[in-house]
C-alpha cells in the first residue's frame, strides 16, 4: 500500500538552545531534518513527501537537502502560525496531487530515528480499516500531581500512554478535520481527529523514536545511533615535487616558501591525503578516480573542493568523521607556526570541531627526496562511523 507523508519542520525549537533551529542541528554529523527525510525516502511504498518549513529557513533547508534528488520529495511548503496550521498547509499541498483515500503519515522533523517497523505498524492499522493510528509507549514511571515544587496527589498510570509520530489517517479525513477546526491549534493530529469524531487506534512505539527537545536529547539519540554503527578507518598518502613559486598550499592554508609545487591542482598534499583517506574508509576509490588529472576542469583547482566532495559522500551514506590525523613530511617550510590555522581550516571544510583534527610534522633526517629538498609529502588517517551493515 502506498502512502504519503508530511514532515513538520517549521518550529523554532527554542528549548534545544543553539543559534539554529533543532531540525537543522547536527546529529552524528548529519542534520536532523536530513536524517528524518531520508528515513521516509528509504521506503519504496512512499508516494509523495512534503516538508513544511519556516520561510526564514529557506537557505538552511536548501543546504540540508542538497543532493537528495528524489522525485517523490516535493518542494517545501511554508508553515503557519501554529503546528496545526503548518500541518494543514502540508495536507493541502498533498491534496493537490493525491486522492482523498491515500494514507498520509504526519511526522515531527525532530524524530530522526524513526524505525521502519513503527511506520509499518501505523500503515497496517490503516489497512485494517481504522480511521487513524499512531504509535505509543506505555507510561512506566509513577505519576504525581504537584504544585509549587511539592508533591500533592499520585495519579493512576494505568491506561496512560506517551504519544509519538507518525500519526496516520486517510488524507481526506484528516484534511477535513483540520479545515473544520479553522486553524485552532491542538496537541497533535490525533487530538484534531478525535475532535472531528474519528476513531484512532494505538500501535507500538519505539524508545529510539524520541523527540529531540532539550540539549541532552542529542546525546541520547547519538547513543541509539551509535548502537547500530560500525567504525572504519582509511589511510591516504600524497607527494608533490617542488617547482617554481613562492608558496605552498597545506591544509587549505597558504604557507610562504621559496618554492611552489608541480601539480595539476593547487597541490595541497594534506587535503589530498585526507581526501584519499576518507574515500578509502568509504571503499569508494581514490582521489584520482574521482578527480582525474586528465580532466581540465581540475586544472589549478583548490583542493578543498576534493575534500568537500568526499565529506558530502560520507554524509549521503549517513556517516560521520570521528577523527582526522595528518602528518606532513618535509625539511622546510616549518609547519609549527601554521599548524593551528591548518587544523581550523580542515575542520571548517569537513564540518568538524577542530578538536577532532590533528596536524603533525616530521623531517626525514636528510634522507630521501624530502631530505634532499626535492618535494613534500603527507600521510593521513581518518576514522569514520557508518550505519551498521553498510556496504
Determine the topology of domain 230-387 in CATH.
Answer: 60s Ribosomal Protein L30; Chain: A; (3.30.1330)
The answer on pLDDT for 19 being more than 80 is: no
> Is 265:301 a contact under the CB 8 Å cutoff?
yes
Q: Once rounded to an integer, what is the mean pLDDT over residues 104-128?
A: 95
Instruction: Between 224 and 92, name the one with better pLDDT.
Output: 92
Query: Is 389 a residue whose pLDDT tops 80?
Result: no
Distance CA 11, CA 109 (A): 9
Q: For the segment 58-78, what is each residue's pLDDT rounded down to a tens digit?
A: 999 999 998 888 999 999 999
Confidence bin at 97 (pLDDT 50/70/90) = very high
Mean of pLDDT over the chain: 90
Cell of 116: 521502519
Superfamily of domain 3-227: Spore Coat Polysaccharide Biosynthesis Protein SpsA; Chain A (3.90.550.10)
Lowest mean per-residue pLDDT among 294-298, 328-332, 372-376 = 294-298
pLDDT of residue 283: 94
pLDDT computed for residue 234 by the predictor: 96
Q: Is the pLDDT of residue 335 over 80?
A: yes
Sequence-ordered list of residues with C-beta below 8 angstroms from that of 90, at least 6 positions apart, any chain: 6, 7, 8, 50, 51, 52, 77, 106
**CB crowding 10-22: b at 16 or more within 10 Å, else e:** bbebeebeeeebb
Residue 102: the pLDDT is 97
pLDDT number for residue 228: 64
* Average pLDDT rounded to a whole number, residues 187-210: 93
Q: What is the pLDDT of residue 230?
A: 82
At residue 352 the predicted structure's pLDDT band, cuts being 50, 70 and 90, is: confident
Question: What's the rounded Cα separation, in Å, for the pair 384 and 311?
Answer: 11
The domain limits of the chain are 3-227, 230-387
Position with higher pLDDT, 183 vs 326: 326
How high is the pLDDT of residue 116?
Answer: 93
* Report for 19-28, 154-163, 226-235, 375-384: range of highest mean pLDDT: 375-384
Confidence at residue 346, expressed as pLDDT on a 0 to 100 scale: 94
Domains 3-227 and 230-387 share a fold: no
| pLDDT value at residue 227 | 61
Q: How much of the chain exceeds pLDDT 90, in percent?
A: 65
Q: From its phi and psi, is residue 225 left (phi > 0), alpha (psi between -120 and 50) or beta?
A: alpha
Say whether pTM exceeds 0.75.
no
Per-residue pLDDT, 388: 61
Percentage above 70 pLDDT, the chain = 97
The answer to whether residue 184 scores a pLDDT higher than 80 is: no
Amino acid at each position: 500500500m502506498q502512502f504519503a507523508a508530511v514532515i513538520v519542520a517549521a518550529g523554532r525549537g527554542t528549548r534545544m538552545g543553539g543559534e539554529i533551529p533543532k531540525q537543522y542541528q547536527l546529529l552524528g554529523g548529519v542534520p536532523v531534518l536530513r536524517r528524518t527525510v531520508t528515513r521516509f525516502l528509504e521506503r519504496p511504498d512512499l508516494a509523495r513527501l512534503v516538508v513544511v518549513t519556516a520561510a526564514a529557513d529557506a537557505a538552511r533547508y536548501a543546504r540540508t537537502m542538497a543532493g537528495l534528488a528524489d522525485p517523490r520529495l516535493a518542494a517545501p511548503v511554508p508553515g503557519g502560525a501554529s503546528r496545526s496550521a503548518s500541518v494543514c498547509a502540508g495536507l493541502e499541498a498533498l491534496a493537490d496531487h493525491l486522492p482523498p483515500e491515500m494514507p498520509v503519515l504526519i511526522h515531527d522533523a525532530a524524530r530522526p530515528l524513526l524505525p521502519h517497523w513503527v511506520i509499518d505498524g501505523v500503515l497496517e492499522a490503516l489497512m485494517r480499516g481504522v480511521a487513524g493510528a499512531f504509535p505509543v509507549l506505555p507510561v512506566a514511571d509513577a505519576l504525581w500531581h504537584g504544585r509549587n515544587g511539592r508533591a500533592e496527589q499520585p495519579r493512576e498510570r494505568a491506561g496512560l500512554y506517551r504519544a509519538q509520530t507518525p500519526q496516520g489517517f486517510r488524507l481526506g479525513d484528516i484534511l477535513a478535520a483540520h479545515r473544520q477546526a479553522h486553524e485552532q491549534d491542538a496537541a497533535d493530529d490525533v487530538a484534531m481527529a478525535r475532535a472531528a469524531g474519528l476513531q484512532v487506534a494505538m500501535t507500538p512505539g519505539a524508545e529510539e523514536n524520541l523527540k529531540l527537545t532539550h540539549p541532552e536529547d542529542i546525546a541520547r539519540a547519538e547513543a541509539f545511533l551509535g548502537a547500530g554503527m560500525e567504525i572504519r578507518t582509511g589511510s591516504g598518502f600524497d607527494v608533490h615535487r617542488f617547482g617554481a613559486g613562492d608558496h605552498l598550499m597545506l591544509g587549505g592554508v597558504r604557507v610562504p616558501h621559496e618554492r611552489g609545487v608541480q601539480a595539476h591542482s593547487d597541490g595541497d598534499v594534506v587535503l589530498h591525503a585526507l581526501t584519499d583517506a576518507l574515500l578509502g574508509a568509504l571503499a569508494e576509490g581514490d582521489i584520482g578516480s574521482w578527480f582525474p588529472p586528465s580532466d581540465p576542469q581540475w586544472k589549478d583547482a583548490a583542493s578543498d573542493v576534493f575534500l568537500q566532495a568526499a565529506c558530502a559522500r560520507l554524509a549521503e551514506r549517513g556517516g560521520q568523521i570521528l577523527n582526522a590525523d595528518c602528518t606532513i613530511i618535509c625539511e622546510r617550510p616549518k609547519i609549527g607556526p601554521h599548524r593551528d590555522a591548518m587544523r581550523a581550516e580542515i575542520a571548517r571544510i569537513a564540518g568538524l570541531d577542530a578538536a577532532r583534527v590533528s596536524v603533525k610534522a616530521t623531517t626525514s633526517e636528510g634522507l630521501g627526496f624530502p631530505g634532499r629538498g626535492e618535494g613534500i609529502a603527507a600521510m593521513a588517517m581518518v576514522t569514520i562511523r557508518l550505519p551498521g551493515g553498510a556496504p
